[in-house]
Structure 1
Amino acid sequence: MNYNIKKANLNDLDETAELFNQYRIFYRQQDEYQKCKEFIKERLDNEQSNIFLVYVEGKTVGFIQLYKLYHYIKLEKQWLLSDLFVFPEYRGKGLSVALIDCAKKWCDETGACGLMLETEKTNEIGNRLYPRCGFEYDSNHNYYYWWK
C-alpha cells in the first residue's frame, strides 16, 4: 500500500482533531470533536506534542502522538507514545507499524533514548502490535493514577 507520513501542524488541525476524536471513541469516550480540536490546537500551539499523520491516496487515515518525557535511569530524553490510531478500514496494512517506525526515527532525530507506552490490557490489537515492533512488556511495574 502506498502511503506517506508527515509531521502535523496547525494547517492539519481539522483532520488531526477528527482522528483524535475517533481514537477517543475507540476507547469508549463520547464524541467531542470540538473539544478534541481545542486540545490538539493547544498541543500544537505550545509545541507540547509531536503528531505524525499517515496518508493514503491523499486521505488522512491515522496518526501517532508523542510527548516528551525524561528517563530517570538513563538520564536522557525519551518519548511517550501516547496515542496511535488508524481508521479500522485501513488496519492490517502496515500503517501502524509505519507510524511506530516514524516515532523510532523521531527518537534518533531528537537524540531520545527510546519510546515508552501504555495500553489497556484489553487492547488486543495493540498488545499484539507492540511486541512485533520491538517493544518489551514491563511486568515489573504497576501504573497508578491520581485524578482531581
Structure 2
Amino acid sequence: MSNIRTANSFDLDALAVLLNDYRVFYQQDSDEAACRGFLHKRLERGDSCLLVHDAGHGPDGFVQLYAMLSTVSLASRWLLNDLFVAPQARGRGIGRALMQAATARAQEHGASSLMLRTQTHNHAAKALYESLGWQKNEAFDTYLLSVPGSGS
C-alpha cells in the first residue's frame, strides 16, 4: 500500500489524536497534549520508527517500532510497540499494510526479528498478527515493574 510513509513533524496534531485514542483503548486517561509531547520527542530524538497511513487527508493509522538488541541472538530485534487505525478507517486493510511496512522497514535495517505484545482479549489484533505469520511465544513469560518517577 503506497499510502504508508514515515511520520514527520507536520503529522503531530493528527498523530496526537490517534495516539490519544489508542491509549484510551488501553484504559489510559485522555491527554492529547501529553501525546503530542511524547510524539514530538520521538520525532526529535529519532528513537523510534513511526510509520503512518495517509491517503491524502492526514494520518488515519500508525505503527511505531523501537530498536532493541538481543544478547541471546547477538542481533538487533525490533519491538512493534503500537499499531492503531482510526475507527472510521478500519476494514480497509490499513492495519495489515502498516504491519507489512513495519516488517519491511525492520528487514531494511537488518533486524533479526520483530516482537509485540497485545492484551489477551484483543482478538481482532491477534487474528491480524496470526494471519501475517506471527507466532505466539510460549517459551517466555512477560513481567512488568512500574518504576515511580520515570518519564518519557
TM-score bucket of the superposed structures, by smaller chain: over 0.9
**Distance (whole Å) between structure 2 residues aligned to residue 116 and residue 96 of structure 1:** 16
Q: Percent identity?
A: 35
| 2:36 aligned residue | 37
Partner of 1:117: 116
- DSSP 3-state at the match of 1:107: helix
Cα 1:112–1:47 shift into 2, 3 Å: same
Amino acid at match of 2:54: Y
Q: Per-residue CA shift, 1:34-64, capped at 9, x if unaligned? A: 0001111111111111100101342321000
Runs of 4+ in 1 over 6 A off after TM superposition: none
Give the whole-Å Cα distance in 2 for the aligned partners of 1:107 and 1:91: 24
8 Å CA contact 1:80, 1:116 repeated in 2: yes
Q: With structure 2 as the length reference, what TM-score do the two structures score?
A: 0.91
Consecutive unaligned residues in structure 2, runs of 5 or more: 148-152
Question: In 1, Cα distance between the equivalents of 2:67 and 2:130?
Answer: 22
2:76 is the alignment partner of 1:77 = yes
Question: What is the match of residue 65 of structure 1?
Answer: 64
> Which residue number in structure 2 is paired with residue 138 of structure 1?
137
Residues 60-69 or 89-98, more deviating? 89-98
Contact 2:16–2:39 under 8 Å retained in 1? yes
Q: Which runs of 5+ in 1 are unaligned?
A: none
Q: How many residues align?
A: 147
Q: CA RMSD in A?
A: 1.4
Task: Single out whichever of 117-126 and 65-74 deviates more from structure 2.
Answer: 65-74
Cα deviation 1:56-115 (Å, max 9, x = unaligned): 342321000001111223211111000000011222211111001100110121111121
What amino acid is the match of 1:33?
E
Separation in 2 of the partners of 1:30 and 1:147?
A: 17
